[in-house]
Amino acid sequence: MSIPTQSRVVIIGGGIIGCSVAYHLSKLGWRDVLLLEQGRLSSGTTWHAAGLVGQLRSQSSMTRLIRYSTELYASLEKETELATGWKRCGSVSVARTPERMTQLRRTISAARAQGVEIEELSPKEAGDKWPVMRTDDLVGGVWLPGDGKANPADITQALARGARNGGAIVREGIRVTGIETEKGRVKAVVTDQGRVECEVLAICAGQWSRTVGQMCGVSVPLHSAEHMYIVTGKIEGVTPDLPVMRDPDGYTYYKEEVGGLVMGGFEPDAKPWGMDGIPYPFEFQLLPDDWDQFAILMENALQRVPALETAEIKTFLNGPESFTPDNNFLLGEAPEVAGVYVGAGFNSMGIASAGGAGRALAEWIVEGEATSDLWPVDIRRFAGFNNNPAWLKDRIKETLGLHYAMPWPNRELDTARPFRRSPLYERLAAKHAVFGSKMGWERANYFARNEDERTIRYSFGPQNWFETVAAEHRACREAAGLVDMSSFAKFLLQGPEAEAALQRLAANDVAVPVGSSVYTALLNARGTFESDLTAARIAPDSYLLLTGTAQATRDAHWIRRQLPEGVTLTDVTSAYAVLSLAGPKVAEILGRVSPISFDPADFPANAIRQITIGYATTWACRRSYLGDGFELYAPAEFALAIYDALHEAGADLGLMDAGYYAVDSLRLEKGFRAWGRELTPDVNPYEAGLGFAVKLNKGDFIGRDALVTARAAPRTKRLISLVGPRPDGQMAWGGEAILADGKPVGEITSAAFGATVDGIVALGWAESHEPIDQAWLDARSWTIDLAGTATPVTASLAAPLDRKQLTKGATA
C-alpha cells in the first residue's frame, strides 16, 4: 500500500506512545496525521511489557498524567470495542526495613497532598491482600486501590483504532531512513517507500529514538538496557483479582497472569545493551536469557514468595527498553529543529505513562507549547553533551535500579561523574567539597569538616552534614560566604533591538540604564512561568542574562524562538565563572582587593559594573540569591585568581566557602522562589507572590492579557512560607502535605533547615475555594505531615526573615 506524499503530522513509531499521540491528535481535531511503523504495531518494546500501572510519582504533575492514563484505559475498550485488559486491581507495596516504612509513610503524605487514595497496611493486612507472600520479615506496607494492570499490545491496538476512527492513517512495514530540514524547520521524512512532506514530526521510536534524532541533529539522550521477568505456571492462591505487589527492598514486582505470577524487577546494577546500534529488523524479538543478571531478583523473590521455589517457570523474558540519564522520560519540542517533537525514553514506565504522555505531547503539538507543567520530563532539561554514548552507557547502569532504590532526600547519582567541572573544581575539591550534580555540573553541596562528612549519610531526618551546613549558612548571614555558582546558565542577548525584544518576553520592565540589572519572569500566553532570570544591561544593545543551571537549553529555546531578525542569543555559560558573595563583611572584603568603593551609596542594589581584582577584570553585580551580597561574573580564566584573592582578603573577616545546601536554606529564609520547584508553567506571578516583578503598564508583553485577568481574580491559590521547629527525628524535604486545621491544602515545594530562624523553613502551596490572605492564614492552625506525624508550623505570605524586602538575585 502506498503512503501519502504529504501529511501535516508524521509520527515515527507504532508502539504504545506513538499510537497514543496519534489518538490524542485526532481527539483534538487534527485529521492529517500519518503514523509510520517499521515493523508491526507494538512490535518494538511495547508487546513484552509486564503491564503494571502505578499512579503515584514524586512530582504531582506526573501523578496527574498517569491518573489520566488509568481513566483512559478504563474507557478505551468501550470506545473502540477492542479489549485492553485493563483491570483496577490495586497495588500493595511492602517495607522490609524501618527506613522503607518511613519512606512509605512519606508517600502517604505526598498522596494525601496529591489527592491519591492510599492506606497504610500492617504486615498482616498486607498478607491479607496478597496471601502468597511471606510477611513475618516485613515492617508494613501501603495499599493503592486505584493502581492497576493492562495488556500493553491490546491498548496499543485500541489506541490505533481510536486514531484511525478519528481520521489518522496508520501504516505498518514502513521504515523512516532520513529526515529533511530547511531553515531550522522539519520539512520531510524519507522512508524506504517514498518521501513524505510534513509540518510536524513526532519521534516516538522507543529505543531507536536516539538514532532517529541523529537523522536531523536532534539529541535524544537515551540508552537501552536489558530488562527481564519470568512467568510461572499456576500457583495456588494466585487469583485473577490479585493486586500488583511491589517489594522494593527486594527489587521485585509481581502480578497475576493466568493463575501464575509475572515476577520481574529493577536490579541495582543494570546491563546496558545496544552499544553497537540496534539491529534491524528487530521485530517481536527478545534477548537471550541471563540467569546470572536475574539472580539478585530471583533470590529476593524466593524470600518473598516461597511458592516460587516449586513453581514451574514457563517463560524467561528478556527485552531491551530505553533508559534516560535521570529515569524520567523525554517529552516535548526538540530545541534543535522547529516542528520536531519527541516522546521517548520511558524507563520501563511507558505503559503507565502512555495515556497522559500521549495527550500532553498532542496538546503541545497543537498549542505550540506545553499546556501544563511538564518540566520533570521536558526534553530541554538536557543538552547536546548528554547525548554522548559513553556517558549514557555508564549512567543508565544506575538509572534502571532507581525505580526501587531508596529515594533518599538529596540523593545524588554516582555514575558517569565527574562530568562538567567549573574552573574552581580542583580548588574546592582540595577543601573537601562534597559535590552534587546538576545539569551535569559538579557543584559543592557543602565542605566537609571531618572524615565522617566526606560521604553523605542519607536519612529522612537531619543528615550528617547538618551542623556544617548551618555553619556555612551563618557565615553568609553574619560574616561572609563564598559560593561557586559557575553552573548558572548565561546568555548574551545582543542587537540594536535587544531592549524591545526583551521587553516583549519579560514581565518586568527591562528598559533600564546600562549598568543596572532586573529580576524578571518570562511568561507564556497563559501568564504562567516559562522562566525567571536576571537581565543585566551591560551595553545599550547588550544584556547579560543569568538563569538557572538546569534551564540553559529550555530558556535558550524559549527566547530564541521569539527573537526578531537582528537580535541574537549566545550561550556564554562556559565562558564565565560565577562567584557569589553574601554577608555583611562582603563589601569590606571586595574593597580590600579592588580599587573602587562597594559602599551602597556608590554601588547600589542591582547595579552591575566592570571591576578589577588584582590582574583580573570581572563583572560585579550587587544582588544575591542568598540574601545581601554580590555576584561576580568572571571570565573563566580569571576565576581562580579572583577566588584566591578573595579568600586571602577575607580570612580575618570570617569568609567561608559555602555550598548549595546552604544556598537552599538561605534562599528559603528570604522567600526566594526557585524555577521548577515553586515556579512552573502551572503558576502565575500573583499566585507565586511575585506580583512586584510584573509591570502591567510598561506596554505589551507575552502573557500580559492573562495577567490582567489573573490580577483581578480572587487569590485562591498562593505560595506560602512555613516555619517549623528544629528538626528532630524527621525533616521536611519537599513533597510533604500541608494541612490547615487538619485538612490537606497543598504540598511543600522546597524545605531546608534555616539556621537563622533555627527551624524548618519551607515554601509550599495552599489552595482553597476562598480567597487566601494573611488573615485567612492566621485564622487556621497549620501542620505539615512528616511521615505520618503532624508537625506544627507557622504560615505566612511574606518571607520568614525579611517580610518587606522581596527582591531576588539570579536563580539557582
Ligand X SMILES: Cc1cc2nc3c(=O)[nH]c(=O)nc-3n(C[C@H](O)[C@H](O)[C@H](O)COP(=O)(O)OP(=O)(O)OC[C@H]3O[C@@H](n4cnc5c(N)ncnc54)[C@H](O)[C@@H]3O)c2cc1C
Residue 175 or 609: the one with the smaller Cβ distance to ligand X is: 175
Residue 48 or 715: the one with the smaller Cβ distance to ligand X is: 48
* β-bridge partners, 750: 763
Chain positions 289 to 318 lying near ligand X, rule: CB under 6 A, are 317
Q: Binding residue for ligand X (CB under 6 A) from 23, 73, 143, 346?
A: 346
Min dist. Cβ of residue 199 to ligand X (A): 19
Give Cα separations from 507 to 31, 520, 557 (angstroms): 37, 6, 18
Which residue, 23, 389, 17, is CA-closest to 203? Answer: 17
Q: Does 265 bind ligand X (CB under 6 A)?
A: no
Q: Does 348 bind ligand X (CB under 6 A)?
A: yes
Q: Does 51 bind ligand X (CB under 6 A)?
A: yes
Chain positions 175 to 204 lying near ligand X, rule: CB under 6 A, are 175-176, 204
Q: What would the grid cell of residue 621 be? A: 553585580
Dihedral angle computed from the Cα positions of residues 258, 129, 74 and 17, in that order, rounded to the nearest 10 degrees: -70
Q: Binding residue for ligand X (CB under 6 A) from 22, 95, 334, 351?
A: 351
Give the whole-angstrom CA distance, residue 349 versus residue 356: 12
Min dist. Cβ of residue 378 to ligand X (A): 17
Q: Does 48 bind ligand X (CB under 6 A)?
A: yes
User: Other CB atoms closer than 10 Å to residue 498's CB: what's the count?
Assistant: 25
Q: What would the grid cell of residue 726 be? A: 528544629
Min dist. Cβ of residue 690 to ligand X (A): 37
Min dist. Cβ of residue 343 to ligand X (A): 7
Residue 106 or 403: the one with the smaller Cβ distance to ligand X is: 403
Q: Binding residue for ligand X (CB under 6 A) from 44, 243, 325, 583?
A: 44
Q: Does 321 bind ligand X (CB under 6 A)?
A: yes
Transcribe 72-120 into DSSP letters: HHHHHHHHHS-----B---EEEEESSHHHHHHHHHHHHHHHHHT---EE
CA 92, distance to chain mean position in Å, is 26
Give Cα separations from 35 to 189, 370, 376, 383 (angstroms): 12, 22, 27, 28
Q: Does 352 bind ligand X (CB under 6 A)?
A: yes
Which residue, 656, 653, 662, 651, is CA-closest to 470? Answer: 662
Number of residues engaging ligand X in binding (CB under 6 A): 39
Q: Which positions from 147 to 176 touch ligand X by CB under 6 A, shown as an x/- string?
A: ----------------------------xx
Q: How many helices (H) and strands (E) does the chain have?
A: 18, 39
Q: Which positions from 480 to 519 touch ligand X by CB under 6 A, shown as an x/- string?
A: ----------------------------------------
Which region, left, alpha or beta, applies to residue 515 given φ > 0 means left and ψ of -120 to 50 means alpha?
left
Question: Beta strands of 328-392 (E only): which ranges?
Answer: 330-333, 340-344
Give the whole-angstrom CA distance, residue 40 versus residue 14: 7
Which range of residues in 13-21, 593-601, 613-621, 679-687 is near ligand X by CB under 6 A?
Answer: 13-21
Q: Does 37 bind ligand X (CB under 6 A)?
A: yes
Min dist. Cβ of residue 131 to ligand X (A): 22
Which residue, 8, 385, 62, 366, is CA-closest to 200? Answer: 8
Q: Binding residue for ligand X (CB under 6 A) from 227, 443, 477, 717?
A: 227
Min dist. Cβ of residue 40 to ligand X (A): 8
Which range of residues in 9-17, 588-596, 614-622, 767-775 is near ligand X by CB under 6 A?
Answer: 9-17
Question: Using an 8 Å Cβ cutoff, are 725 and 791 in contact?
Answer: yes
Min dist. Cβ of residue 277 to ligand X (A): 12
Q: Does 357 bind ligand X (CB under 6 A)?
A: no
Which region, left, alpha or beta, applies to residue 339 given φ > 0 means left and ψ of -120 to 50 means alpha?
left
Question: Using an 8 Å Cβ cutoff, are 722 and 745 in contact?
Answer: no
Q: What would the grid cell of residue 341 be? A: 517533537
Min dist. Cβ of residue 382 to ligand X (A): 17
Min dist. Cβ of residue 211 to ligand X (A): 8
Q: Does 327 bind ligand X (CB under 6 A)?
A: no
Q: Binding residue for ligand X (CB under 6 A) from 206, 376, 481, 764?
A: 206
Min dist. Cβ of residue 253 to ligand X (A): 7
Q: Does 39 bind ligand X (CB under 6 A)?
A: yes
Min dist. Cβ of residue 789 to ligand X (A): 33
Min dist. Cβ of residue 345 to ligand X (A): 8
Q: Binding residue for ligand X (CB under 6 A) from 130, 208, 266, 491?
A: 208
* Paired sense of beta strands 517-523 and 529-539, if any: antiparallel
Which range of residues in 32-40, 77-85, 663-671, 760-768 is near ligand X by CB under 6 A?
Answer: 32-40
Which residue, 39, 357, 37, 21, is CA-closest to 170? Answer: 37
Residue 313 or 539: the one with the smaller Cβ distance to ligand X is: 313
Q: Binding residue for ligand X (CB under 6 A) from 10, 34, 50, 242?
A: 50
Which range of residues in 40-48, 472-480, 603-611, 709-717 is near ligand X by CB under 6 A?
Answer: 40-48
Q: What is the CA radius of gyration of the chain?
A: 27
3-state secondary structure 115-171: CCCCEEECHHHHHHHCCCCCCCCCCEEEEECCCEECCHHHHHHHHHHHHHHCCCEEE
Which residue, 487, 408, 483, 418, is CA-closest to 447? Answer: 483
Residue 319 or 685: the one with the smaller Cβ distance to ligand X is: 319
Residue 225 or 550: the one with the smaller Cβ distance to ligand X is: 225
Reported residue count of the chain is: 812
Min dist. Cβ of residue 156 to ligand X (A): 8
Q: Does 350 bind ligand X (CB under 6 A)?
A: yes
Give the whole-angstrom CA distance, residue 113 versus residue 547: 30
Give the whole-angstrom CA distance, residue 415 versus residue 413: 6
Q: Binding residue for ligand X (CB under 6 A) from 3, 18, 34, 630?
A: 18
Q: Binding residue for ligand X (CB under 6 A) from 49, 245, 710, 755?
A: 49
Q: Does 229 bind ligand X (CB under 6 A)?
A: yes
Give the whole-angstrom CA distance, residue 772 versus residue 746: 13
Which range of residues in 36-44, 77-85, 601-609, 669-677 is near ligand X by CB under 6 A?
Answer: 36-44
Please report where in the chains the cell 529526515 appears, as a residue. 179
Residues that bind ligand X (CB under 6 A): 12-18, 36-39, 43-46, 48-52, 175-176, 204-206, 208, 212, 227, 229, 317, 319, 321, 344, 346, 348-352
